[in-house]
Amino acid sequence: MRNHLILVIPLLLLACGKESGPQQKPIRPVACEQVHFGGGQTTRTFSGSARAGLASRLSFRVGGTLEAFPVRLGDRVEKGQMIARLDNKDYQLQVDDAEASLKQAQAQARSASASYERIRGLYENNSVSIAELDAARAAHDSAQAQVQSIAKKLELAQSQLSYTELKAPLAGSIAEVKAEVNENVAPGQAIAVLNAGSRPEVLFSVPEQLIAAVSVGQSVKVRFDSLGGQTFPATLTEVGVTSGGLATTYPVVARLDRAETRILQGMAAEVSLTLRVADQTERLLVKPKAVLQDHNGQNYVFVAEPDGTGFATVRKKAIDVGTLTPNGLEVLQGLADGDWVIHAGLRFLQEGQRVAMPAQTGA
């Protein structure tokens, strides 16, 4: 019996060993860029940040003490939903006072109107003078004007009262909260920021030597590392004409071509922009950070060879480099037109490695 047990135990260990083999490493996505011979065009990448397609600074039209502020940062609100409310006691008193004044003025107007009609009848019978008729008419007109004036004051007081409640002008999300309950706020003072609009925007800067090649309506690609390197089609909607800050750069805005709820305000983005340049020389340019050097001083790059399924095989290619230009590092030999050159995460790569190509959302 002991011999049987000794024989079975190694077999069980061997079976377990086969089942718990080495786990496959996950296939990593790579950041890469397809290179082409430049025939008057170049693709440049600019860093930017996402923002809402429409950001509204919410404020009261009247001042007062903040009595209620039910929304919180990140809350989703619908159009017409209450955002905050001021203490409205003083404004309600103004409405009550105006209503009382209007009732009194209306009573006086009715009395003046009746008096005028009575005196006019007497005048027709030659019982009163023209002066008395004119005085009655003037009193009647004055009373009517007083009613209209107080009615306008009541309308204004009612509007002021309605302004003590702040409602969302559009559906969206609360991006910032700038006040607290019991705080005294002034008219026009922003108490919250509402992000609306389903198509996010990306704000980035373009240097002065390239801004002339940028125009509204131009198509671009926007990449977000925080979303797994996904790329979204976008269109330039604004191109600044005044440089900002100390650096001579110009603000440019790209708006995504379709709605994307995963993109949040402040997310870092890379905008790829194809520009026409004056240099018409046919040459391949790569990002300098994509070029590595081995211990023999040989320059090389990693290239992704797609297989048509969303994956690719990494190949190491030795290259000869030329001059460093504002648009990239010139490659004299070793690359072909259309190669996908990897430019990020290079220290994790090796020849023959399986990688995932970046998702071209909307491409």
Structural class in CATH, domain 89-162: mainly alpha
Q: Find the distance separating the first CA and the last CA of the chain, reported in whole Å.
A: 69
Domain spans, the chain: 28-38+283-356, 41-53+197-276, 62-86+165-196, 89-162
Q: What is the pLDDT of residue 359?
A: 66
Mean pLDDT of the region 42-67: 90
In this predicted model, which residue has the larger pLDDT, 5 or 88?
88
Q: Give the Å distances, CA to CA, from 54 to 62, 89, 315.
A: 24, 34, 44
Q: What is the pLDDT of residue 310?
A: 86
Average pLDDT, the chain: 86
Q: What is the pLDDT of residue 53?
A: 80
Paired sense of beta strands 299-306 and 340-342, if any: antiparallel
In this predicted model, which residue has the larger pLDDT, 284 or 198?
284
Mean pLDDT of the region 8-12: 45
Q: What is the pLDDT of residue 275?
A: 80
Q: What is the pLDDT of residue 10?
A: 47
Q: How far apart are CA 350 and CA 140, in angstroms?
A: 98
- Indicate the SS3 state at residue 103: helix
Q: What is the pLDDT of residue 282?
A: 63
At 196-233, the pLDDT tens digits run 877 899 999 998 888 888 999 999 999 999 999 899 99
Q: What is the pLDDT of residue 39?
A: 54
Share of the chain above pLDDT 90, in %: 58
Cβ(109)–Cβ(148) below 8 Å: no
Give the pLDDT band (50/70/90) at residue 7. Answer: very low
Q: How far apart are CA 273 and CA 105, in angstroms?
A: 69
Mean pLDDT of the region 249-257: 93
Return the bridge partners of 66, or none: 86
Cβ(181)–Cβ(96) below 8 Å: no
Q: How far apart are CA 282 and CA 229, in angstroms?
A: 30
Q: Domain spanning 28-38+283-356 has what CATH number?
A: 2.40.420.20
Give the pLDDT band (50/70/90) at residue 44. Answer: confident
* Residue 12 pLDDT > 50: no
Please, how many CA atoms are within 13 Å of residue 31, restricted to the half-sphere of its CB?
21
Q: Domain spanning 62-86+165-196 has what CATH number?
A: 2.40.50.100
Superfamily of domain 41-53+197-276: Efflux pump adaptor protein, beta barrel domain (2.40.30.170)
At 290-323, the pLDDT tens digits run 999 999 999 999 999 998 888 999 999 999 998 8
Q: What is the pLDDT of residue 279?
A: 53
Torsions phi, psi for 255 (to 5 deg): -110, 130
Give the pLDDT band (50/70/90) at residue 131. Answer: very high
Task: Provide CB contacts within 8 A for 40, sequence distance 6+.
Answer: 276, 277, 279, 280
Give the pLDDT band (50/70/90) at residue 167. Answer: very high
* Residue 80 pLDDT > 80: yes
Give the pLDDT band (50/70/90) at residue 1. Answer: very low
